[in-house]
Structure formats: structure tokens, C-alpha cells
Amino acid sequence: MGGKTKKHLEVLREMRSRAVLGGGQKRIDQQHERGKLTARERLALLLDEGSFQEFGALATHDLNAFGLDKHRYPGDGIVTGFGKVNGRRVAVFAQDFTVLGGSFSEVQSQKISRIQDMALEAGIPVIGLNDSGGARIQEGVRSLAAYGEVFVRNVTASGVIPQISVILGPCAGGAVYSPALTDFIIMAGPSYMFLTGPDVIKAVTGEEVTAQELGGADVHTARSGVAHLAAETELEGLAMTKLLLSYLPQNNNEEPPQITPEDPVTRMDEALNDLIPDNENQPYDIRDAIEMIFDQDSFLEIQPDYAPNAVIGFARLDGYSVGIVANQPCYMSGALNIHASAKIARFIRLCDAFNVPIITFVDCPGFLPGTSQEYGGVIRHGAKIIYAYCEATVPKISIVTRKAMGGAYVAMGSRQMRNDVTFAWPTAHIAVMGPEAAVRVLFREEIGKAADPAAREAELIAEYREKFFNPYRAADVGQIDEVIEPCETRPRLARALEVLRTKVQQNPPKKHGLCPV
């Protein structure tokens, strides 16, 4: 090896070493003191060992304003590249808080945009590990424009490749929009997201609030609905990311991966036959049914703390990935409201985008009444569910477990929503409204003229129950395909999905529809 070549190699190795150190050992130590991992440590935990191929490790800004010439670090505060998660290819980026607080720069945008473009061309998911103080103020409009480059690629990739954002520290200002445009947001450790920080809020409104109170994981998983999952630690958050990926295909032209099933598809759990209480107003937990029907320990609930009157998530049936939508009778009796409607509709559209069959469990007394719902636009939000079901072309199967009333029956995956198969349990009540309300509307005069109004009302209610408050009238007219024993649900679903796996359905050609957002 010649001396000149040796010198060149030494320079390269020195620059690589500097890139690995990010903002330097002192900054790394400070990151650890905060209880946080570095960008490279996070990637090492997320990706299969030895699979990471870095791009742009030596990219550095060339600006001098506001002392930036003294803060040039190879990589410019972000690590980008490609790797594998459980043997499946992914594109990744991880913001490096040790370099200028991970502040977002023009160079960061260029690096992220490059892997977004390559991921879209290759048809592989993008995972972003976010830990940044926001836009790099010293770069002015350059930094703001840089956000726009990432946003447009988020939108272009939407519905084509899975996009997952993991929030592992601060994510503020314009930085929050990129995660909001992705498919899933996972918040882990002491992370937070907000548009305007505590200082700005105090200056404008006088209100004092901490960063966690304003935009911590508790806020975004339970109140705002911005985040989909939360984890106590970074390690748990990265493990959750891997698990979530396992239910999704690489892109919209592929099917989700099947794992080797260990749970017999013919298994029938007799406890399902006793799940529905005799008292029709007594609650039960629909998650108990989900756990008994699908492959053991396969249910991953999404947004469990937001709009808990609706349950959504992924599970497996005979090793195949399925999306689950369900009313939750143990919260608000499973009634639909504004938040539940938005939660359900978005999940349906996500499953449809990535070829995940949708299985719906219906136990809903209707839409939640009240002026707050009407003024808040429950009509518009409820229509989102109808739009999503009608638009979806993946296999769709519904099971009516108990109440399916009025508009909620239609909205929750009925035959008219282009549902493929509808089952009902013998405990199903399918009607326009409850028997008491129906009788008072239909027979008000007759009851009023009766010698014993209370007795006549009770008699008419009993008659209504016998005629309409069951699944058999709906089965008679073909709205229910079959009434089944609850314990039969697992094998029945598996057989139906086996037939529907080759389903081909297309919507009319158009630029896009107008979903009631």
C-alpha cells in the first residue's frame, strides 16, 4: 500500500470515527444521564445484527451564520440508511440529539428524503426515530423548507409503504407534522409532541403547563388520539415497532406475512357460549371474545386508551394477519361517538391500503345522543365509518354478537357496506331501535286508550322482542348469512377467509374520493 493511499484511508477512518461519536463523548454521556440512548444505539436494538447499511454518514452543512462554522459534525445530527427487522428490509433514520439537540436542518432533510425516495422505489417500510429540539434556528427558512421536502414524501408514500414514527424525546413545532402524516406513532420513554411549547402558551394565554402535561404520551394516547401506542422505555418502544411491522406487508402490492400457526384453526372455546350476559344491559369485555377466537397471544390493540368504546387492532387467524374492529360494550355500552368514528374509519382505511382483511364485531346500541355530539359534527364523523367500509376492497366479515341498532347496524360493516360475510350469534338483536322506544312510537295511541296502559305496553314490547329482537328475521331476508354458536366463530372465520383470500374487487377509476374529513 502506497503512502498516499494509506493517508487517504486514515482520513476516511478518522471521519467515520467522528461520525460514530456524533456530538462527542461528552454529549453522549449527557444523553445517557437523561436515561436516553443514542441514535446508533437505538438502531442497533431495532435492526438485525450486522444488517445496517448507512447512507450519508459524512454529510455536513456548509453554513457559517450564527457560529455554525464551529459546529460541523459528520452526519449533521441524523443517522440514515437501510437494514432488516426480523429478516425483512426497512429504511430507517434516527435523529441524533447529541448534535445540536438533533435540530432539523437542510442536510437532515436531504438525507431523510433520499431514503424515503429509495424506500418508495424499493417498496419497503420507513421507520423514523425522532428525538429533536425542532428546526435549526440558525438556518432560518432553509430549515422550514426542509420540512416541506419530507412532508411531501410522507404523503406520496402514504398507502404505498408502511411508515412508522417512534418518538423518543422532544418533537416540537413543524417536526410533529411528519409523524402525523405517517401510519403509526409510537411514543416511548420521556417523549413529548406539541406545536407550541409551554413558554409560548404562557406568553400568549398566561397558562402554565409542563412539556409532559402539554404533549406527553398520556395526552396523545388517551386525549388527542395523535399517538397509537406508548411504551415505558425505549427498549419496549423499539420492540413494539418490530411487533407492529410483523402484521404489515412490505408494500401495498404484497400480502402481510403469514407465520407458522401453532394454534389449531379448528379450536373452539366453549367459554364463548357463556360470554354474553342474560341481562341485555349488562356489559362484557369484547376483548375476551377476541382473545378466545384468534390465534393465542396474537392480539395487538391499537389506540387502547383513546375512544375506548371502540376496539381496533391486529391479530392472527391461522397465522394470517387480520384487522379487528369492534364495539366495546363495557364502555359507554359500545355506542359510537365522534372519537370512536374517527378511530374506526382510519383503521379500516389503513387495513384496506395494506391488504389486511377486516373482521368486525358488532354490539352497538347506536350513535351517542346529545348536543355536544351534534354540535361537534357526529354526522360528518359517523359518515367516515360508512365511507371507509364502502371504499374498502379487502375481505370483510362481520359478527353481530348482541345489539345492532339503527344507523349503527348499517355503518358497522353491514351487507350494504359491501361486506362479504355476516354471521350472528343467537344473542344478536337487530332492529331499528330498542323495543321500548319502538313500541312507544308505533303504538302510542293504542296504549293510551287501553284499559291498562302499562299492561298493554308490556304486551306489545314482548311481541316486538319476539318478532324483531333476534337475528332470525335478518337471516330470513338475507342480511345475515348464518346464525352460529359463539364457540364456532374461530373455524367459521377461518373457512370464510380461506375462500376470500383470492377476492378481487376494484373501485371505479378516479383521482380520489372526498372522504368526510
Q: What is the pLDDT, as a whole number, of residue 173?
A: 83
**Average pLDDT, rounded, for the chain:** 90
Distances (CA, A) of 332 to 151, 308, 476: 37, 9, 31
Q: How far apart are CA 138 and CA 299, in angstroms?
A: 46
Helix 106-122 vs helix 141-157: angle between axes, to the nearest 10 degrees? Answer: 10
Interval 10-23: pLDDT, tens = 777 766 766 676 66
Instruction: Place 353 in a pLDDT band, splitting at 50, 70 and 90.
Output: very high
Q: What is the pLDDT, as a whole number, of residue 66?
A: 56
For CA atoms 131, 134, 138, 144, the dihedral sign is: positive
Q: How far apart are CA 138 and CA 103, in angstroms?
A: 10
Q: What is the pLDDT, as a whole number, of residue 21?
A: 64
Q: What is the pLDDT, as a whole number, of residue 369?
A: 92
Q: What is the pLDDT, as a whole number, of residue 197?
A: 86
Instruction: Place 380 in a pLDDT band, splitting at 50, 70 and 90.
Output: very high
Q: What is the pLDDT, as a whole number, of residue 151?
A: 95
Q: What is the pLDDT, as a whole number, of residue 9?
A: 76
DSSP secondary structure of 401-413: EEEEEHHHHHHTT
Interval 189-216: pLDDT, tens = 899 999 888 988 999 999 999 999 999 9
Q: What is the pLDDT, as a whole number, of residue 450?
A: 84
Q: How far apart are CA 139 and CA 106, in angstroms?
A: 8
Tell me the backbone φ, ψ of residue 60, rounded to 5 degrees: -145, 145
Q: What is the pLDDT, as a whole number, of residue 309?
A: 97
Residue 138 predicted with pLDDT over 80: no
Q: How far apart are CA 402 and CA 283, in angstroms?
A: 11
Number of other residues whose CB lies within 10 A of the CB of residue 110: 17
Q: What is the pLDDT, as a whole number, of residue 515?
A: 92
Residue 62 predicted with pLDDT over 80: no
Q: What is the pLDDT, as a whole number, of residue 156?
A: 97
Instruction: Place 144 in a pLDDT band, splitting at 50, 70 and 90.
Output: confident
Q: How far apart are CA 408 and CA 378, in angstroms?
A: 12
Walk across the sheet containing 88-95 and list its strands: 53-55, 78-85, 88-95, 126-130, 163-167, 184-188, 229-231
Q: What is the pLDDT, as a whole number, of residue 451?
A: 86
Instruction: Place 106 in a pLDDT band, splitting at 50, 70 and 90.
Output: confident
CA dihedral 128, 129, 134, 140 (to 10 degrees): -50
pLDDT mean over 432-458 = 83
Cβ distance 342 to 385 under 8 Å? no
Instruction: Place 467 in a pLDDT band, splitting at 50, 70 and 90.
Output: confident
Instruction: Place 317 in a pLDDT band, splitting at 50, 70 and 90.
Output: very high
Q: What is the pLDDT, as a whole number, of residue 470?
A: 81
- What is the pTM assigned to this prediction? 0.93
Instruction: Place 69 in a pLDDT band, splitting at 50, 70 and 90.
Output: low
Provide the CB-side half-sphere exposure for 277 (13 A, CA): 11
Distances (CA, A) of 115 to 94, 105, 287, 467: 12, 16, 39, 61
Residue 167 predicted with pLDDT over 60: yes
Instruction: Place 56 in a pLDDT band, splitting at 50, 70 and 90.
Output: confident
CA dihedral 188, 194, 199, 203 (to 10 degrees): -160
Distances (CA, A) of 315 to 31, 119, 287, 447: 36, 26, 11, 50
Catalytic residues: 173-174, 407-408
